[in-house]
Chains A and B, each alone.
Chain A
Amino acid sequence: MAKRIEISGLNAYYGKTRAIEDISMTVEPRSVTAFIGPSGCGKSTLLRTLNRMHEVIPGARVEGKVLLDDLNLYGSEVDPVAVRRAIGMVFQRPNPFPTMSIFDNVAAGLKLNGVRGRGRLGEIVEKSLRGANLWNEVKDRLNRPGAGLSGGQQQRLCIARAIAVEPQVLLMDEPCSALDPISTLAIEDLIASLKDKYTIVIVTHNMQQAARVSDTTGFFNLAAQGQPGRLVEIDDTNKIFTNPTEKATEDYITGRFG
């Protein structure tokens, strides 16, 4: 079920401002691809174009192509709702639905897709929570509000919610930036175990994290403040962190940046 993503000639705008410029790259299936780069370089924007979440911001638009296998996600006949159904997303801050129980949070996407019956739902909810390494911690309180969990548990709940609908790709937008080190470790372990099944793209500020969890790393930068972000290089994570091709990449990962 994991799929390849091919991005070609992608530009994204907020109103008249161009946020990212002419991005082309390939994301391999069943692997973890990390986007790194300084703040404002457009890595989160790029991530949000991959499931058409970018366009929900008023005035935002996208030019170019994103192919999921052979299907252009920005094709005229494609429904963005179907795109988001197929490509799951985990956000920077854990955002479980505050009015729903743990169970209902995980089941939320399933119910949209017509899965009915407590038994059938319960099976998938358990599977997803196990997949997110959360089952043992919450199995006795599935009917308690999801907002009552700790930050790290909430984030794993959000991951469970995202994988419950069995997406083809999982996007993660700095999923650990609001978490403590222990929760971060738990999420990183989880990412490692999820890549057998999913194509994962993760945006992170933390270079060690990128080095630890990803197979491929893309480095983004902007020429100057106010300029759109560009992809500087993308390569095997090992290569990026040990022997990058570009000088800018090396400066950034060795901390000589800016």
Chain B
Amino acid sequence: MTSDTLEQGATGALGGRGRRLGTGRMGDRLFGISTRGSAIVLLLIIAAIAVFLIAKAVPALKADKANFLTSQEWNPDAAEPRFGILQLAFGTLMSSLMALIIATPVAIGIALFIAFYSPRRLASGLGYVVDLLAAVPSVVYGLWGLQFFVPKMASVANFLHDDFGWIPLFGGDSVGGQSLLTAAVVLAIMILPIISSISREVFLQVPQANVEAALALGATRWEVIRMAVLPFGRSGMVSAAMLGLGRALGETIAVAMVLSTAAGISLHILRPGGNTFAANIANTFGMAGNMGRGALIASGLVLFVITLIVNMLARAIVARRKEFV
């Protein structure tokens, strides 16, 4: 403080006191404008993403001779471009939902384990271990999936097909490792850390008073969780799962590597094949011509909109919960 007043005194002695205040105001304006400007740049980027994706998608959509929403074809570079997103949408939703069904219970189990079952001293370390799953890049999951997991899943698929083939999902003519189910399991592994870390946060917010109230009534550990923890964390867990779903929907490279893409829609999840928006873009981009790129951009736009809706729903659930608690 003394050095500050000294400094001011010195500039004041030089007759710059008024000017000094002036530069402060000038600096304030410049700095304020630059922070505001950055915020606006960020908005412009979002707007640009929407605008340019639409601008590039529209010509392709106009040239499309098939129905974009209901066609299963993907021949945008043919003389008569025909392409539609039905099978992409099916594969994307199917694999992501299966991933969600696999990952959510496990992730909530992990969150409960870390928050209530593990020794307190280890809790943060164990949380870090689970977060490591999120640090592994998706291309590495792809490589691991392709080289290590797909062969393992091939035998699992054969087993399921032989013994449980009467269940329609596990039926079909041919089964293999590079199936929608395999993609879903890999996706499940990738979204596990998101769902579990958000659920863990929510569980840690449960008021200790409610936990103690349940304990004092003579509740076992599970009963405490059922009475005080799960009802309190319900909306948090739902939004965690939705954020995980959003991540799974947009995941590209791991799915592109694991899935052997094949045309058509099939509920036989052990069948090699299926395709997703993102994987289709990654796999066919290299060979796509001008029209093909436009078509891919159009499909990317649809993916953008779907993930946007899912993410917004998740945030809305979180926001509503904040008002209540």
Would you give the shortest CB distance from B168 to chain A, in whole angstroms?
38
**B313 interfacial contact with A, CB 8 Å:** no
| Set A53, A58, A97: member contacting B216, Cβ < 8 A | A53
Q: Any chain B CB within 8 A of the CB of A51?
A: yes
| A residues less than 8 Å from B234 (CB atoms) | 99
Question: A197: CB under 8 A from chain B?
Answer: no
Which residues of B, 280-300, contact A by the 8 Å Cβ criterion? Answer: none
Q: How far apart are the CA atoms of A98 and B212 in the complex, in Å?
A: 13
Q: Which residue of chain B has the shortest Cβ distance to A85 in the bound complex?
A: B218
**Band of interface residues on B:** 20 to 34
Q: Which residue of B lies closest to A96 (CB)?
A: B213
A56 CB-CB contact with B under 8 Å: yes
Known: A58-B120, A95-B209. A88 touches B216 (CB 8 A): yes
Closest to B228 in A: A97
When distances are taken between beta carbons in the complex, the residues of chain A under 8 Å from B212 are 53, 56, 91, 95
Instruction: Provide the residues of chain B in CB contact with A108, threshold 8 Å.
Output: 214, 217, 227
Assembled-state Cα–Cα distance A136/B240 (Å): 42
| Complex interface: stretch among A37-45, A119-127, A158-166 | A158-166
Within 8 A of B (CB), among A46-62: 51, 53, 56, 58
Minimum CB distance partner of A89 in chain B: B216
Q: Are B325 and A97 in contact (CB under 8 A)?
A: no
Interface assignment of A86: CB less than 8 Å from any CB of chain B: yes
Evaluate contact between A165 and B231: CB separation under 8 angstroms. Answer: no
Interface residue? B232 (CB, 8 A): yes
The reply on B58 being an interface residue by CB < 8 A is no
Expressed in whole angstroms, the Cα–Cα distance for A93 and B207 within the complex equals: 12
Establish whether residues A162 and B216, one from each chain, have CB atoms under 8 Å apart when the complex forms.
yes
Would you call A109 an interface residue if the criterion is a C-beta within 8 Å of the partner chain's C-beta atoms?
yes
Which of B215, B218, B223 has most chain A Cβ within 10 Å? Answer: B218
Q: Nearest chain B CB to A154's CB is how many angstroms away?
A: 11
A185 within 8 A of B: no
User: Does B174 sit at the interface, judged by CB under 8 A?
Assistant: no
Is the beta-carbon distance between B219 and A112 smaller than 8 angstroms?
yes
Distance in angstroms from B6 CB to nearest chain A CB is 44
Residues of A whose CB lies within 8 Å of any CB of B are 51, 53, 56, 58, 81-86, 88-89, 91, 93, 95-100, 108-109, 112-113, 158, 161-162, 165
Q: List 20 A-B contacts (CB under 8 A).
A: A51-B216, A53-B215, A81-B220, A83-B218, A84-B216, A84-B219, A85-B218, A88-B216, A89-B216, A91-B209, A91-B212, A91-B216, A93-B209, A95-B209, A95-B213, A96-B213, A98-B232, A98-B325, A108-B214, A158-B213
